[in-house]
């Protein structure tokens, strides 16, 4: 809506996990390198955790681009509230397995054939599960069994489980210890440090066509970091709303007042918020 007003070619703070806007913070870069290494070295299970909005799905999208580019076959389960039968059907669909996709036995046979054929061509195969903290026990057990396919060179199916920190706790459960033992790589994403939030916003603005940040002054940036607590999704939501507000007021620069309005509308909580807002509220109420 505001793109033309600010001269953006594209929306800078879209909430979709779009790899073209990928900002390589050190931890995001390391996590992606780890995922790629885990896949290439045919190690088996890899776990990626992080709080809501820290960039897990975006990271998986970057991995997906890598897999496409290297012609590595993969199945991507983005809906984790599924039953085992549905999981097999989704895997069969993604990997284009020619069999009765509603029959677990047929899917497993066809999958086995594909894995062997891929490995004979020097390629591995990958199963990615996003939001894996929601997986039912019985589905996790099926996934563990799929991770059993192997030959002398290593695992034939690399499994990546991505989810919120509860996933780690889930994998600690006694009935999942066999799966836990097979996890060879773990990566976790944390919120940005202040400098990273600055660079992150700068990167997204530049990708959208604004080479230098002319819209968020440095003191406002510091406050955006504080209020978002460095969570990329919240940074996006705040910046998007700020630009919208500035546009509505025909202002080319965002201000602290606009930020107060935006974060109040978003009902955001952040450390120290009460101290900051109470005196004003008290005056207003008196």
Ligand X SMILES: Nc1ncnc2c1ncn2[C@@H]1O[C@H](COP(=O)(O)OP(=O)(O)O)[C@@H](O)[C@H]1O
| Binding site residues, Mg ion, CB under 5 A | 56-57
Q: What is d(CA 23, CA 187) in angstroms, rounded to the nearest whole number?
A: 17
CB of 236 to ligand X, least distance (A): 5
* Residue (of 253, 157, 187, 145) closest to 47 by Cα position: 187
Backbone dihedral angles phi then psi of residue 74, each to the nearest 5 degrees: -150, 155
* Strand duo 154-155 + 73-77: pairing: unpaired
- Give yes or no for a contact between 28 and 211, defined as CB atoms under 8 angstroms apart: no
Length of the chain in residues, anyone?
Answer: 286
Backbone dihedral angles phi then psi of residue 70, each to the nearest 5 degrees: -100, 10
CB of 97 to ligand X, least distance (A): 28
Residue selected from 8, 11, 28, 126 as contacting ligand X according to rule CB under 6 A: 28
What is the number of the residue whose Cβ is closest to ligand X?
55
Q: Which does 15 bind (CB under 5 to 8 A by kind): Mg ion, ligand X, none?
A: ligand X
Q: By C-beta, is 124 or 164 nearer to ligand X? A: 164
Binding piece for ligand X, criterion CB under 6 A, among 20-28, 81-89, 91-99, 254-262:
20-28
CB of 271 to ligand X, least distance (A): 21
Q: What is d(CA 233, CA 161) in angstroms, rounded to the nearest whole number?
A: 21
CB of 116 to ligand X, least distance (A): 33
Q: By C-beta, is 95 or 189 nearer to Mg ion? A: 189
Burial class (CB in 10 A: 0-12, 13-18, 19+), 270: middle
Q: Which does 236 bind (CB under 5 to 8 A by kind): Mg ion, ligand X, none?
A: ligand X
CB atoms within 10 A of CB 206: 15
* Contacts of ligand X in 53-92 (CB under 6 A): 53-58
Residue selected from 1, 9, 33, 52 as contacting ligand X according to rule CB under 6 A: 52
Q: Which does 256 bind (CB under 5 to 8 A by kind): ligand X, Mg ion, none?
A: none
Binding piece for ligand X, criterion CB under 6 A, among 17-25, 64-72, 93-101, 146-154:
17-25
Query: Would you count residue 12 as binding ligand X (CB under 6 A)?
Result: no
Total number of residues that touch ligand X (CB under 6 A): 19
Q: Which does 230 bind (CB under 5 to 8 A by kind): ligand X, Mg ion, none?
A: none
Burial class (CB in 10 A: 0-12, 13-18, 19+), 105: exposed
User: Running DSSP on this structure, what letter comes out for residue 66?
Assistant: H
């Amino acid at each position: 809506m505001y793109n033309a007003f600010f001269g953006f070619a594209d929306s800078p703070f879209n909430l979709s996990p779009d790899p073209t806007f990928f900002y390589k913070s050190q931890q995001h870069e390391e996590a992606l390198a780890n995922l790629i290494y885990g896949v290439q070295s045919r190690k088996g299970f890899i776990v990626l955790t992080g709080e809501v909005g820290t960039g897990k799905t975006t990271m998986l999208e970057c991995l997906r681009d890598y897999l496409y580019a290297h012609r590595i076959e993969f199945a991507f389960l983005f809906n984790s509230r599924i039953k085992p039968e549905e999981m097999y059907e989704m895997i069969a669909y993604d990997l284009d397995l020619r069999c009765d996709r509603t029959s677990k036995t047929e899917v497993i046979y066809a999958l086995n054939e594909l894995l062997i054929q891929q490995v004979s061509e020097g390629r591995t195969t990958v199963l990615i599960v996003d939001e894996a903290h929601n997986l039912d026990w019985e589905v996790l057990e099926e996934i563990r069994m799929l991770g059993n396919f192997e030959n002398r060179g290593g695992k034939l199916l690399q499994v990546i489980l991505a989810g919120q920190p509860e996933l780690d706790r889930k994998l600690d459960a006694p009935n999942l210890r066999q799966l836990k033992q097979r996890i060879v790589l773990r990566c976790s994403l944390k919120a940005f440090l202040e400098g990273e939030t600055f660079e992150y916003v700068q990167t997204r603005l530049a990708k959208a066509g604004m080479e230098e940040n002319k819209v968020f002054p440095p003191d406002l940036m510091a406050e955006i970091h504080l209020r978002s607590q460095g969570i990329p999704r919240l940074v996006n939501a705040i910046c998007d709303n700020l630009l919208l507000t500035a546009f509505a007021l025909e202002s080319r620069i965002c201000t602290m007042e606009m930020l107060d309005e935006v974060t109040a509308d978003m009902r955001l909580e952040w450390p120290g918020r009460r101290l900051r807002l109470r005196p004003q509220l008290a005056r207003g109420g008196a």
